[in-house]
């Protein structure tokens, strides 16, 4: 019926500043890219005063001019950049909504003898519908359903008018109704659900924060750690080459021995705490474990499972490291049960030019395949370096930005990062879909948000700082730029057969261009210092 306070809004999108020519090529790593929210362009100054508004001018009155008599009181800006609008809807407006609800209820109920004649397309015209007695109608649709229709119509008729009072400062799509459905229904407490008193409700809206710069943004400096060099490229290319050979290996079923390092096993894993309670997110069925390539970050796990044969099960205790990604089990000891369902060894292919094409498409010799892999690795590192540089300049700008983060922006970013976290765990094969679904709860999301609070705030501050920079530097988007970006995005979506909303696409295209222009300004104006790559283990 309406958005409740505990529903996290899913508006906005992530755009890459690296390339705005093709939306399909954009990466969605929130740590790298600026998260732009389609918002009404406005000043960053907030109007911090309580006022009362009587809406008298409506461009398109929803049902009746009486709707213009609603009263709206605006609060001061509260923590989280929240403004509350207290709306009072008079009885004459409720009477209109009551009549509209009756028409809708009659159409839904289709009570024999009180139906409008069907048109050629099978639909019925509400105005031709005969109204049954109210007691019959309420019995047919249910009192709760009828009250919901009354409330929905009231909100639809009055919300746009109330929102006019914050139209210049509100963050788009941040509004929620703070009043409960039960409280709203009290206004229709008369006989047969007739209006009995004014309906009062509260809207919570987030407004744009006030941004202050703590440093001169024209002389920002930043450092970044290089992701690699020619030496690391060679080592990484060798690893990629070896992994490709493993992919070409023939898998042989093992029946006469237990698991050895280098084998591929299909296993079931379960873990309980010392009290015998299952640990969420650990249980996995038919997990494909490649001991040659999978990074088993849990110390001691590999040593425990070596030697287990197909069909065998083993129980053992292990302790999670203090820096384990799932904080709820970090530093704790767990009782593991591992069962090996299938076990395979690799029969590596003979290294010859005959398999060069399989190692790297287009290669005629093994040496050529190695050279192509090295070149691809260098290109990958160059892209990574651009991303690292962009992160550095964004962090420098965010560090110079002093502002309060709007509650809706913080909620949205939290939800997005939690979803990305679960998706990444599934893609990396760390958890089964069943385990991921078990973790996708509000309780676990709240834990995630608490553990990653500073990172989430940093990303939100990046967004706000970039929007402020775009405005302060008087950056503009030409109609030609917007048209070209819109065409590219629409082309990508149509190629994938995805439906789209034209207005939302325009917002998305504008936001993508704003992000690109902002980061380009940072690239051109922030002084960057490169630090050498971190030492890597030679293993």
Q: Are residues 55 and 170 in the same domain?
A: yes
* 415 contacts 271 by C-beta, under 8 angstroms: no
Token pair for 423: 């998706």
Is residue 511 included in any domain, yes or no?
A: yes
Q: Read off the pLDDT band of 524 (50, 70, 90).
A: very high
Q: Are residues 175 and 54 in the same domain?
A: yes
Q: Name which of 396, 538, 386 is nearest 458 in CA terms.
A: 396
Helix (H, G, I), strand (E, B) or coil at 286: strand
Q: Are residues 382 and 508 in the same domain?
A: yes
> What is the CB neighbour count within 10 angstroms for residue 180?
12
In the beta sheet, which residues pair with residue 213? 401
Is residue 16 included in any domain, yes or no?
A: no
Q: Are residues 290 and 404 in the same domain?
A: no
Domain span at residue 480 reads 219-227+372-531
Please give the pLDDT value at position 30.
30
Q: Are residues 301 and 169 in the same domain?
A: no
Is residue 213 included in any domain, yes or no?
A: no
Question: What mean pLDDT comes out for the span 465-475?
Answer: 95
Average pLDDT over the chain, rounded to an integer: 83
**What's the CATH code of the domain at 273?**
3.10.50.40
Helix (H, G, I), strand (E, B) or coil at 326: coil
Please give the pLDDT value at position 537.
55
Please give the pLDDT value at position 434.
74
Q: Are residues 315 and 450 in the same domain?
A: no
- 3-state helix, strand, coil split of the chain in percent (to 5) is 45, 15, 40
Q: Are residues 58 and 137 in the same domain?
A: yes
Please give the pLDDT value at position 128.
55
Please give the pLDDT value at position 177.
95
Dist CA 33 CA 393 (whole Å): 11
Q: Are residues 186 and 162 in the same domain?
A: yes
Q: Are residues 343 and 421 in the same domain?
A: no
DSSP-derived pairing of the beta strands 212-213 and 176-177: unpaired
Element (H, E) at 122: none
Whether residue 76 is predicted with pLDDT greater than 70 in this model: the reply is yes
Q: Are residues 161 and 101 in the same domain?
A: yes
Instruction: Return the ∠ at Cα 105 (arms to 99 and 108), rounded to 5°.
Output: 150
Is residue 455 included in any domain, yes or no?
A: yes
Q: Given phi > 0 = left and psi -120 to 50 = alpha, else beta, which region is 281? A: left
pLDDT of 340-386, one tens digit each?
999 999 999 999 999 999 999 999 999 999 999 999 999 999 999 99
Whether residue 290 is predicted with pLDDT greater than 70 in this model: the reply is yes
pTM here is 0.70
Is residue 479 included in any domain, yes or no?
A: yes
Dist CA 455 CA 31 (whole Å): 8
Q: Are residues 319 and 395 in the same domain?
A: no
Is residue 212 included in any domain, yes or no?
A: no
Q: Are residues 301 and 382 in the same domain?
A: no
Report percent pLDDT > 90 for the chain.
61
> What is the CB neighbour count within 10 angstroms for residue 510?
18
What total of structural domains would you count in the chain?
3
Dist CA 493 CA 483 (whole Å): 15
pLDDT of 305-347, one tens digit each?
999 999 999 999 999 888 877 777 888 899 999 999 999 999 9
Is residue 233 included in any domain, yes or no?
A: no
**What's the CATH code of the domain at 422?**
1.10.3120
Is residue 513 included in any domain, yes or no?
A: yes
Q: Read off the pLDDT band of 127 (50, 70, 90).
A: low
Q: Read off the pLDDT band of 152 (50, 70, 90).
A: very high
Question: What mean pLDDT comes out for the span 224-247?
Answer: 95
């Amino acid at each position: 019926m309406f958005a409740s306070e505990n529903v996290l809004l899913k508006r906005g999108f992530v755009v890459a500043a690296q390339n705005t020519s093709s939306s399909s090529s954009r990466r969605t790593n929130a740590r790298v890219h600026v998260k732009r929210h389609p918002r009404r362009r406005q000043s960053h100054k907030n109007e911090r005063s309580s006022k009362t508004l009587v809406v008298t001018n409506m461009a398109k009155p929803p049902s009746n001019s009486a709707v213009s008599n609603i009263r709206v009181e605006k609060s001061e800006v509260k923590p989280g950049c929240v403004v509350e609008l207290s709306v009072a809807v008079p009885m004459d407006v409720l009477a209109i909504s009551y009549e509209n609800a009756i028409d809708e209820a009659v159409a839904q109920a289709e009570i024999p003898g009180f139906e409008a004649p069907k048109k050629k397309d099978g639909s019925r015209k509400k105005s031709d519908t005969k109204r049954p007695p109210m007691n019959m109608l309420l019995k047919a649709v249910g009192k709760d359903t009828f009250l919901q229709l009354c409330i929905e119509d009231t909100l639809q008729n009055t919300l746009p008018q109330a929102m006019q009072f914050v139209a210049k400062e509100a963050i788009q799509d941040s509004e929620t109704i703070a009043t409960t459905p039960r409280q709203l229904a009290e206004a229709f407490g008369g006989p047969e659900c007739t209006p009995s008193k004014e309906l009062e409700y509260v809207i919570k809206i987030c407004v744009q924060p006030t941004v202050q710069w703590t440093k001169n943004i024209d002389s920002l400096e930043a450092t970044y750690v290089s992701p690699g060099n020619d030496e690391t490229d060679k080592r990484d290319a060798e690893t990629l080459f070896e992994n490709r050979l493993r992919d070409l290996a023939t898998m042989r079923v093992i029946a006469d021995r237990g698991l050895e390092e280098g084998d591929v096993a299909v296993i079931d894993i379960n873990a309980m705490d010392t009290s015998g309670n299952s640990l969420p997110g650990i249980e996995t069925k038919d997990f494909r474990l490649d001991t040659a390539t999978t990074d088993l970050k849990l110390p001691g796990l590999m040593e425990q499972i070596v030697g287990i044969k197909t069909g065998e099960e083993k129980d053992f205790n292990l302790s999670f490291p203090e820096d384990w990604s799932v904080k709820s089990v970090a530093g704790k000891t767990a009782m593991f049960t591992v069962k090996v369902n299938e076990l395979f060894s690799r029969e590596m292919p003979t290294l010859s030019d005959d398999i060069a094409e399989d190692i790297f498409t287009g290669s005629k010799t093994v040496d050529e395949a190695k050279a192509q892999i090295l070149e691809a690795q260098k290109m990958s590192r160059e892209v990574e370096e651009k991303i690292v540089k962009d992160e550095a300049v964004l962090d420098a700008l965010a560090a110079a930005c002093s502002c309060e983060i709007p509650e809706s922006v913080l909620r949205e970013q939290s939800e997005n990062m939690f979803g990305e976290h679960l998706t990444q765990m599934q893609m990396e094969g760390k958890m089964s879909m069943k385990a991921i679904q078990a973790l996708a709860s509000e309780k676990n999301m709240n834990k995630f948000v608490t553990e990653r609070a500073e990172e989430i705030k940093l990303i939100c501050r990046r967004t706000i700082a970039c929007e402020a920079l775009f405005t302060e530097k008087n950056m503009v988007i030409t109609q030609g730029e917007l048209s070209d970006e819109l065409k590219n995005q629409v082309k990508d979506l149509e190629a994938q057969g995805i439906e789209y909303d034209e207005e939302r696409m325009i917002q998305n295209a504008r936001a993508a261009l704003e992000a690109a222009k902002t980061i380009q300004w940072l690239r051109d104006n922030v002084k960057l210092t490169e630090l050498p790559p971190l030492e890597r283990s030679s293993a």
